[in-house]
Amino acid sequence: MSESVLIIGGGVCGIQAALDLGDKGMHVYMVEKEPSIGGRMALLDKVFPTNDCSICILAPKMITCFNHPNVDVITCAEVEGLTGKAGAFKVKVHKNARYVDEDKCTGCDACTQACALAGRIPDEWNQNFSTRGAAYIPFMQAVPRVAIIDKERCLLLSRGKCKSQCVEACQRGAIDFKQKDQTVTLDVGAVIVATGLDMYDPTPVTEYGYGRFDNVIHSMEYERLINASGPTGGHLKRRSDDERPRRIAYIQCVGARDVRSGHPYCCSVCCMYATKDSMLAYMHHDDTENIIFYTDLRAFGRGFDEYIKRGVDEYGITYVRARPGEVTEDPETKNLYVWYDDTESGGVKSMEVDMVVLSTAFVPPPGISALGKALGVKMDEFDFFKASDDLLAPMDTNVPGIYIAGACTRPMDVTDAVTQGGGAADRAAQAINDFVGKTSAKAGSVR
């Protein structure tokens, strides 16, 4: 029997669940596959519908979660298997070696600067718009703020050949190339799955030229470019010439609501974040023209319609109801032409723009079905975790004691992910209390 709860995934949803459970006095293990907690929200510049700074809201929660006396965060880790039943699960967790002692590292950055490969590896955090070394700290506000060595790229680990300047630079003796992967077994009474979302790679939607045309980017690339702590210090620039785009087109539902991509569902968030992105471009330079090509405007949440209205009235956003057929490029200027059938006024038209931003589908993270299998939890046809009843028990699964929350259940925004995190925490706490109650009643009857 265990009164601990395991949370898989340390995005905003998992963090909310951990804080709620920790504050109730329950013990939490949080298993996060990346070297830092934070999830997608840590990548964003601002968040609709308030346009608040995303990391300013999230960072205090990340730190409180990590330092909470009732929460143990295990990073670089994934769940491999689960046995037992509600109240008494045994969970096998695989923790990848960081090659840096988390207790000794102060996050001073000396190793990252000294690394033989510093500045030579594309930085995936910044969508490859900047570079890092093999020793690196994932991002400025990472929690824990601890360096990690990239096993595949490090010259010593991959080729056995490096003077290991990182080791010399570290005054704390924190770098430890002898560290090995570990497997640990956790005893928990309940599990919350909060593994969130990934984004569809728009390369197969060849008609929009992603990967072929420099100035066609996707929305996560846009988030990093417009972010003050991003690769350009928040200056939105075209890849082709570093110039500021003055006219930007946003194409909605790329790979979403599209049977060809295998993702026929609506991503529910993209109409709103494209509006936010347009507002941000305008806030930076109020002569920027923003045009959103949408399928239907799905502004379903509280205050969302008003947000769109503000977009039109205060930020001059133009919404065009059309699903563009093609984007072409002027090879000289690298400007783009968006070709579309205007469903309102009728007829095929084209519009010249400086940049195209593709709002791509939300998809489950790669390899997530293996986790579903390990837990015995049912998934839907798209690999989102399936609730036992969407209407009446949206956080329950087919396995008693295992709950689901956030964007691993369907595409959703931060508000919904936080609400579900809180809800799943309550369900897990209730399950453990019921179990403890039943166990002590049984013990009482024996006595």
Ligand X SMILES: Cc1cc2nc3c(=O)[nH]c(=O)nc-3n(C[C@H](O)[C@H](O)[C@H](O)COP(=O)(O)OP(=O)(O)OC[C@H]3O[C@@H](n4cnc5c(N)ncnc54)[C@H](O)[C@@H]3O)c2cc1C
* Interacting positions 370-389 with ligand X (CB under 6 A): 371
Q: Which of 40, 145, 298, 410 binds ligand X (CB under 6 A)?
A: 40
Q: Which of 8, 26, 62, 148 binds ligand X (CB under 6 A)?
A: 8
- For CA atoms 188, 65, 365, 50, give the dihedral sign: positive
- Report what 110 binds from ligand SF4, ligand X, none; CB cut-off 5-8 Å by kind: ligand SF4
- Report what 269 binds from ligand SF4, ligand X, none; CB cut-off 5-8 Å by kind: ligand X
CB of 10 to ligand X, least distance (A): 5
The reply to whether 44 sits near ligand X by the rule CB under 6 A is yes
* Interacting positions 80-109 with ligand SF4 (CB under 6 A): 100, 105-109
Q: Which of 13, 47, 93, 147 binds ligand SF4 (CB under 6 A)?
A: 147
d(CA 12, CA 338): 36
- How many chain residues bind ligand X (CB under 6 A)? 38
- Report what 356 binds from ligand SF4, ligand X, none; CB cut-off 5-8 Å by kind: none
* Interacting positions 159-178 with ligand SF4 (CB under 6 A): 162, 164-166, 169-170, 172, 174-175
Nearer to ligand X, 319 or 435 (CB): 319
The reply to whether 111 sits near ligand SF4 by the rule CB under 6 A is yes
> DSSP E strands: which ranges in 322-372?
326-329, 336-341, 348-353, 355-360, 362-363
d(CA 141, CA 127): 17
Which contiguous run of DSSP H or E holds residue 403? Answer: strand 402-404
* Interacting positions 50-79 with ligand SF4 (CB under 6 A): none
CB of 149 to ligand SF4, least distance (A): 5
Listed ranges 29-37, 111-119, 155-163, 311-319: which one lies at the site for ligand X (CB under 6 A): 29-37
Q: Which of 269, 271, 395, 404 binds ligand X (CB under 6 A)?
A: 269
d(CA 309, CA 112): 46
Cβ contacts of 44 within 8 Å, gap of 6 or more: 54, 55, 223, 227
Q: Which of 5, 6, 7, 13 binds ligand X (CB under 6 A)?
A: 13
Q: Which of 5, 7, 9, 282 binds ligand X (CB under 6 A)?
A: 9
* Interacting positions 352-371 with ligand X (CB under 6 A): 365, 371
* Interacting positions 211-230 with ligand X (CB under 6 A): 219-220, 223
Under a CB-based contact definition with an 8 Å cutoff, are residues 239 and 217 in contact? yes
Listed ranges 43-51, 108-116, 150-158, 381-389: which one lies at the site for ligand X (CB under 6 A): 43-51
Q: Which of 22, 202, 406, 423 binds ligand X (CB under 6 A)?
A: 406
Q: Which of 110, 225, 368, 414 binds ligand SF4 (CB under 6 A)?
A: 110
Residues lying near ligand X in the complex (CB under 6 A) are found at 8-14, 31-34, 39-41, 44, 47-48, 78, 194-197, 199, 219-220, 223, 269, 273, 276, 365, 371, 406-407, 412-415, 417
- Chain contacts with ligand SF4 (rule: CB under 6 A): 100, 105-111, 115-117, 133-135, 147, 149, 154-156, 162, 164-166, 169-170, 172, 174-175
